[in-house]
Amino acid sequence: MTLKTITNLELENYLTTLLKPSKVRDFCPNGLQVQGAEHIKKIVTGVTASQALIDQAINLQADSLLVHHGYFWKNESYLIKGMKHQRIKSLLVNDINLFAYHLPLDVHPVLGNNAQLAKLLDIKVTGPLELGNEFSVSIQGEFEQEKTGDELKSIISTRLNRECLHLQPPSNKPIKTIAWCTGGGQGYIDLAAELGIDAFISGEASEQTTHVVNEMDIHFFAAGHHATERYGAKALGEHIQAELGVEVIFIDIDNPV
């Protein structure tokens, strides 16, 4: 395959068409967050635009970073100092573009974090958890065969290479139907329980999650915020390389949370 060069505007326009960020209400700007080189020959993808990932992109002489977690979150300080200053300075000095897509990358029906987690765990997607909302950040599905809670915990831990937390309801019922929201989507367990779904997967757990499990009879699995969201950025990068012909490298900066 002969690798190509594209412009940062061409990439942003392509991703806008693909991911449809205007359709999702988000907590941060989606798209080109920090402008760098006009011409892009190499893209590094990853989960979060941390200093460690930026340093890897610099070492690889990449022109762009494409991540799920970028910058400029709602309610955070506007000041560019400390950690934020160092990150942005590193991007600007090295002329690296930063593209970030948060919820649009969660909800994409093929490349998104939720869709990729379903693929990894062999879940058949049946529709959005928020009924009637095609851009729902949580979706539902089912397994071909019922599983016990212990079986599903083992599958998740093995395939994500991360020991997951399993909160088991008093009934310890078998699991056929399931809903999930990668990252910090544990709050959707309430809706899943109201719909009679057997289990819910997310990246994180909250104190109240235990009470929902016990009182609404639903299994819960917390598999790690980072671990559940590795796969969208990776799939998106592979798609870009296949469709646009530019070199893309996925780098996983491990995070135990």
SS3 at position 111: coil
For 146-166, the pLDDT digits (tens) are 999 999 999 999 999 999 999
pLDDT for 65 = 98
Pair (144, 172) in one structural domain: yes
- For residue 209, what pLDDT band results from cuts at 50, 70 and 90? very high
- For residue 220, what pLDDT band results from cuts at 50, 70 and 90? very high
Pair (120, 210) in one structural domain: yes
pLDDT for 49 = 98
pLDDT for 2 = 83
Residue 126 lies in a domain: yes
For 84-138, the pLDDT digits (tens) are 999 999 999 999 999 999 999 999 999 999 999 999 999 999 999 999 999 999 9
Pair (94, 158) in one structural domain: no
Mean pLDDT over 218-238 rounds to 98
Pair (164, 198) in one structural domain: yes
| Side-chain half-sphere CA neighbours of 79 within 13 A | 4
**Residue (of 17, 94, 14) closest to 60 by Cα position:** 94
Pair (95, 134) in one structural domain: no
Tell me which residue has tokens 């592979």.
Answer: 238
For 163-197, the pLDDT digits (tens) are 999 999 999 999 999 999 999 999 999 999 999 99
SS3 at position 49: coil
Return the CATH number at 82: 3.40.1390.30
Pair (161, 245) in one structural domain: no
Pair (180, 126) in one structural domain: yes
The pair phi, psi for residue 114, each rounded to 5°, is -65, -45
Pair (55, 82) in one structural domain: yes
Instruction: Provide the domain limits for residue 28.
Output: 6-102+230-250
Cα separation, 43 vs 117, in Å, equals: 23
Residue 256 lies in a domain: no
Residue 40 lies in a domain: yes
Q: Would the pLDDT of 1 be above 90? A: no
Q: Would the pLDDT of 75 be above 80? A: yes
The mean predicted confidence, pLDDT, of the chain is: 97
Cα separation, 154 vs 159, in Å, equals: 9
For 20-71, the pLDDT digits (tens) are 999 999 999 999 999 999 999 999 999 999 999 999 999 999 999 999 999 9
The pair phi, psi for residue 236, each rounded to 5°, is -65, -40
Residue 1 lies in a domain: no
Where does residue 194 rank: exposed (0-12), middle (13-18), buried (19+ CB within 10 A)?
Answer: exposed
Tell me which residue has tokens 């671990």.
Answer: 227
Are 200 and 178 contacting, i.e. CB atoms less than 8 angstroms apart?
yes
Mean pLDDT over 189-216 rounds to 98
Residue 55 lies in a domain: yes
Number of independent structural domains in the chain: 2
**Residue (of 104, 127, 109, 78) closest to 25 by Cα position:** 104
Pair (97, 177) in one structural domain: no
Q: What is the pTM of this model?
A: 0.96
Residue 257 lies in a domain: no
Neighbours of 29 (CB within 10 A): 15
Are 228 and 159 contacting, i.e. CB atoms less than 8 angstroms apart?
no
Pair (142, 96) in one structural domain: no
Beta bridge partners of 178: 141, 199
Pair (215, 138) in one structural domain: yes
Pair (170, 199) in one structural domain: yes
pLDDT for 242 = 97
Four-point Cα dihedral 106, 112, 118, 120, nearest 10: -120
Cα separation, 25 vs 52, in Å, equals: 29
Residue 149 lies in a domain: yes
